[in-house]
Homo-oligomer: A and B are copies of this chain.
Amino acid sequence: MKLNTKSRYAVMALADMAVFSSDNAVSLRDISLRQGISILYLEQIFLRLKKNNIVKSVRGINGGYILVKSPKELKISDILLALDQKVKTIGCKKDSKKSCNGKSTKCITHNFWDELDIHINSFFENKKLSDLLKNREVRI
Contacts and interface: CB of A to CB of B under 8 A. Distances in A.
Contacts of A103: 36
B1 A85 contact: yes
Interface string A1-43: 1111101100110011001000000000000000111000000
A89 to B, nearest CB: 5
Interface residues of A, number: 45
A102 B5 contact: no
Interface stretch (A45-53, A58-66, A67-75, A119-127): A119-127
B137 A91 contact: no
Interface string A101-123: 11101111101110010011001
Contact of A112 (B16, B91, B132): B132
Nearest to A135: B111
B108 A127 contact: no
A93 interface: no
A88 B1 CA distance: 6
B132 A123 contact: no
A37 to B, nearest CB: 7
Given A1-B1, A3-B1, A37-B101, A91 B15 contact: no
Contacts of A120: 1, 116, 119-120, 123
Contacts of A15: 108-109
